[in-house]
Amino acid sequence: MIGELLAEAEHKMDMAAEHVANEFATVRSGRANPQLLQRIQVDYYGSPTSLQQLASIAVPEPRMLVVQPYDRSALGNIERAIQTSDLGLNPSNDGSLIRIVFPPLTEERRKDLIKLVRHMAEEGRVAVRNVRRHSKTDMEALHGDISDDEIRRGEDELQKLTDRFIARIDSLLARKEEELAEV
């Protein structure tokens, strides 16, 4: 029973760490990254549609993205969706594709983005700790069925899992901060 609880806790903690990694990928650094456009919804014939479903996204240069729509009639809508997004990007449309050049980040914008990724990392750590708390409660509920020593060993394993995933989130944060601090 303890093993099942630990396996479930590990799975949930892994999902929390992956979520943090995916959130970090959507934060703009000085480099072009196709995942930045992951959340953009385009009004396509009256319904909001994911940009990935409407266009291919390429990175021809480190500071440029090229968005090539599968349907040229959607070009204007895609450009408008990118402009109105909170990414602060200014796309240029040449009639067949959209180029997005990433200007270098200002020092103030870098500091804001570092604060944002630190907040995201803290949310991830809280999620991992919540998984630990719920699993620990579940283990303590087994108090009549298994020995106290087994529960204590399970709680020790749970703490090791928690420490491992918090360290993983911290290393992701350190990498992202380093990337954002790059000039």
pLDDT at position 165: 96
Alpha helices for 72-147 (secondary structure H)? 75-84, 107-140
Round to whole Å and give the CA distance between 88 and 102.
9
What tens digit of pLDDT does each residue of 29-58 get?
Answer: 667 778 888 888 898 888 998 888 889 989
pLDDT at position 63: 82
Beta strands at 41-44 and 98-101: parallel, antiparallel or unpaired: unpaired
pLDDT bracket for residue 183 (50, 70, 90) = low
What tens digit of pLDDT does each residue of 119-178 get?
Answer: 999 999 999 999 999 999 999 998 888 888 999 999 999 999 999 999 999 999 999 998
DSSP conformational letter for 141: T
Round to whole Å and give the CA distance between 146 and 166.
29
pLDDT at position 135: 94
pTM above 0.85, yes or no: no
Domains along the chain with CATH numbers = 2-26+106-181 (1.10.132.20), 34-101 (3.30.1360.40)
What tens digit of pLDDT does each residue of 87-125 get?
Answer: 777 888 888 889 988 777 788 888 888 898 999 999 999
